[in-house]
Amino acid sequence: MHNAKRQFFNEIYAKYLPELKRFIGLRWPKEQDVDDLAHEAFLRLAQYPDLELIQNPRAFLFQTASNLAIDNYRQKQTRKCYFETEIEIQDISERESLSPDNVCENQHTLSHFTDLLNQLPELQRHAFVLYRLEDLSHAEIALRLGISVRSSERYVMQATQHLLSRKKMKNKNNGGQA
């Protein structure tokens, strides 16, 4: 960074950092990564090729922080969806008791899960099974199915969302019971 650019950036940093942190904390009170988001917004500003051309650095920072917070929330939700599905799959496969009732319940759960999987388009179903049940990476799935890595990620996410939405509908129809 050139001296003039560095000085301009340092002035903006000193002037807006406390206000930006307050903004993030008030707008997203559950956000725990306030400092990280604020610093990431400043990093994006610093990486801008012609910093002096930004007419309103404050607006740039606040909009960038808003976008980062939204992206952060979406990533957390996606991780949560994956985690919930992973736990449910593990529940099916790791139930220890082999009493007749549990065997029957496991068969019912597995049958329901299979029915839900069969509702998915073929590529989504294959990508999900390869990722969740066979532990393949998205790169391996992409190679095996002849699709891009991004498509593999998207198919697994869509399948996960489908399964979770059906589970929520079932729970809602059963009065909140799993």
Neighbours of 62 (CB within 10 A): 18
Distance, in Å, from the CA atom of 13 to the CA atom of 61, rounded to the nearest integer, reads: 10
Digitized pLDDT (tens) for each residue of the chain, 178 residues in all: 578 788 888 899 999 999 999 988 888 776 677 888 899 999 988 888 887 788 899 999 999 988 888 887 777 776 666 666 555 555 555 555 556 666 666 666 777 777 878 888 888 888 988 888 788 899 999 998 899 999 999 998 988 888 888 777 776 676 555 4
pLDDT of residue 92: 54
SS3 82: helix
pLDDT of residue 26: 84
Q: What CA–CA distances, in Å, run from 46 to 17, 72, 134?
A: 14, 20, 43
Longest dimension (CA), the chain: 76
Type of residue found at 161: Q
Architecture of domain 3-76: Orthogonal Bundle (1.10)
For the chain, the distance separating the N- and C-terminal CA atoms, rounded to the nearest angstrom, is 57
Q: Is domain 98-173 classified as CATH 1.10.10.10?
A: yes
Each domain of the chain, given as residue ranges in start order, spans: 3-76, 98-173
Going by C-alpha positions, the residue among 69, 81, 75, 84 that lies closest to residue 30 is 69
pLDDT of residue 178: 47
Query: Residue for token digits 């957390």?
Result: 76
**Do residues 131 and 117 touch, judged by C-beta distance below 8 A?**
no
Distance, in Å, from the CA atom of 92 to the CA atom of 95, rounded to the nearest integer, reads: 6
Q: In 28-99, which residue ranges form alpha helices assigned H by DSSP? A: 34-47, 57-94
